[in-house]
Amino acid sequence: MSSNLGQLLLIGIPGPELDAQTRGFLRKIQAGGYIIFTRNIQSPSQLRKLLDDLRDLSEIEPIFTLDQEGGRVSRLKAIGNEPPNAQQLREKGDAQLIRRHGDLTGRLLRLFGFNLDLCPVLDISFDDNADNSLFGRCYGTTAEQVIRNATLFNDAMRCAGVLSCGKHFPGYSSAANDPHHELPVLTRSRGELERHELAVFHHFIPHVDSMMIGHIAFSELDPSGQPASLSPAIVRGLLREKMGFQGLVMTDDLDMGAILNHYGFEQTMRMGIEAGNDLLMICHRTELAGDAIKTFEQMPAPLIDEALGRVAAFKSKFSPPAEFSEAAFAELNAEVWQLRVEVLGEARARERSPESGKRSPVEIY
């Protein structure tokens, strides 16, 4: 078994800078990757320095990722303009604008040193007004529309040198509640899933670099009631074996209520790897990364080595960061604004997405 067990973790960090204690902890853990949130972002130069500092602590090039979709799920709006969201782009109906959004997103992320964006969202919006975590984030109201629009974004971003992640397999589309707070349970028939949600993910099998597994229970896919993210039947049986996906597979954040309310930490880490995930996401309880590694040490070597191999293969596709400058960011930020105006019009472009009220006040991902 490899000693690089931290490579199986995608973790958040506390703030915008690394103090001596945090540096020592991260140097010891050697995490496979880091996910950046608004709490980590203060200015363009600070953000690039943070990623450079994390890179310097790492013996193996890390995954650097965030949720930069558009609209309310746009971490970089903390320091710049907010891109239009998937629904706004869909409603505008201009393929070239969606393609520009993908290209611009890729160039912007590489400027800061990111190599993976946690998108596109491949869920279908069956109700654009539903009060759930998908509000505004879906590229279509049918499988065909999601495939058409998400492909434009995905292909352009990948061509710009940033890897992609299809989410949230096998679909949050019909969830009645938000997995950030509690585990959704879906009872749709297998036929319905095959015609809608699974049709989208099946199309993207050869076109995305990674897949994120959602925290949702599908009785038709796994009668045990386990969330998809911890289910061997769904990750290994459906995604890997039946659908043939051989790329990197990661969980959604294991600090969400859908998991925290039902499973202990050690149990979650063990089940996550047994299910077939390669990367386990811990966004908030970073201090438990050492405990996760201890759990991995007790697991069968073939399971661990299989996951480590896929993490390494994923990392072999990285493009190097672009050269950073404040001027380069200002130019790209102006392009984001121009895209926003072309999609929404001048008046609507000046309005920011609501972050509270009816919608969940937590950072959505």
pLDDT (tens digit per residue) in 274-316 = 999 999 999 999 999 999 999 999 999 999 999 999 999 999 9
Give the CA dihedral 359, 153, 335, 325, nearest 10 degrees: 100
Residue 258: per-residue pLDDT: 73
Structural domain includes residue 53: yes
Length of the chain: 365
**Which of the listed residues 281, 299, 317 is the one where a domain comes to its end?**
317
Q: What is the mean pLDDT of residues 51-63?
A: 98
Give the mean model confidence (pLDDT) for residues 311-323: 98
Q: How confident is the model at residue 171 (pLDDT cuts 50, 70, 90)?
A: confident
The DSSP output letter for 297 is H
pLDDT of amino acid 181: 59
pLDDT score of 189: 87
Condensed to tens digits (0 to 9), the pLDDT of residues 23-36 reads 999 999 999 999 99
If pLDDT is split at 50, 70 and 90, which confidence band does 352 have? Answer: confident
pLDDT at 337: 98
Last residue of a domain, one of 302, 317, 332: 317
Q: Judge if 284 and 331 occupy the same domain.
A: no
Q: Which of 304, 345, 309, 365 is nearest to 137 (CA)?
A: 365
* Exposed / middle / buried, residue 357 (Cβ in 10 Å: 0-12, 13-18, 19+): exposed
The band of 122, judged by pLDDT with boundaries at 50, 70 and 90, is very high
Instruction: Specify the DSSP element, H or E, that contains 301.
Output: helix 301-315
Mean local confidence (pLDDT), 230-237 = 97
Kindly state whether residues 66 and 184 are assigned to the same domain: no
pLDDT for 180 equals 63
d(CA 346, CA 350) in angstroms, rounded, equals 7
Which structural domain, as residue segments, surrounds residue 265?
164-317
Q: Give me the pLDDT at residue 359, please.
A: 39
Within 10 A of 350 (CB to CB), how many other CB atoms are there?
Answer: 10
Question: Is the confidence at residue 357, as pLDDT, over 50?
Answer: no
Q: What is the mean pLDDT of residues 81-98?
A: 97
Alpha-carbon distance of 34 to 204, in angstroms, equals 24
- Indicate the DSSP class of residue 120: -
Contact residues for 39 (Cβ-Cβ < 8 A; gap 6+):
14, 15, 16
**For residue 284, with 0-12 CB atoms within 10 Å meaning exposed, 13-18 middle and 19 or more buried, which class applies?**
middle
Are 35 and 65 within 8 A, CB to CB?
Answer: yes
**Domain-located, residue 156:** no
Could you tell me which residues come within 8 angstroms of residue 161 by beta carbon, excluding any fewer than 6 positions away? 106, 110, 319
**Per-residue pLDDT, 296:** 98
Query: Under a CB-based contact definition with an 8 Å cutoff, are residues 68 and 109 in contact?
Result: yes
Per the domain annotation, does 330 fall within a domain? yes
In this structure, is residue 147 part of a structural domain?
Answer: no
pLDDT over 70 at 185, yes or no: yes
Question: Rounded mean pLDDT of the chain?
Answer: 92
Top-confidence residue, 87 or 220: 87
Q: What is the CATH number of the domain that holds 262?
A: 3.20.20.300
The tokens of 288 are what?
A: 């438990």
Beta strands 68-70; 73-74: pairing state: antiparallel
What pLDDT sits at residue 361?
43
Most confident range, picked from 75-84, 130-139, 260-269: 75-84
Rounded CA separation 16/297 (Å)? 31
Q: How far apart are CA 205 and CA 249, in angstroms?
A: 12
pLDDT confidence of residue 177: 59
Instruction: Convert 169-196 to b/e letters by CB count within 10 Å (16 or more is b).
Output: bbbbbbbebbbbebbbebebeeeebeeb
pLDDT band for position 197 (50/70/90)? very high
Average pLDDT over residues 121-130: 91
Q: Are residues 234 and 361 in the same domain?
A: no
Are 168 and 312 members of one domain?
yes
Is 150 within 8 Å of 139 (Cβ atoms)?
A: yes
Residue 228, pLDDT above cutoff 90: yes
The reported pTM is: 0.95
For residues 272 and 300, membership in a common domain is answered with yes
Q: Are 10 and 250 in contact (CB under 8 A)?
A: yes
d(CA 83, CA 333): 9
Q: Which of 102, 258, 264, 83 is nearest to 181 (CA)?
A: 258
- Tell me the percentage of the chain whose pLDDT exceeds 70: 92
274 and 353 housed in the same domain: no
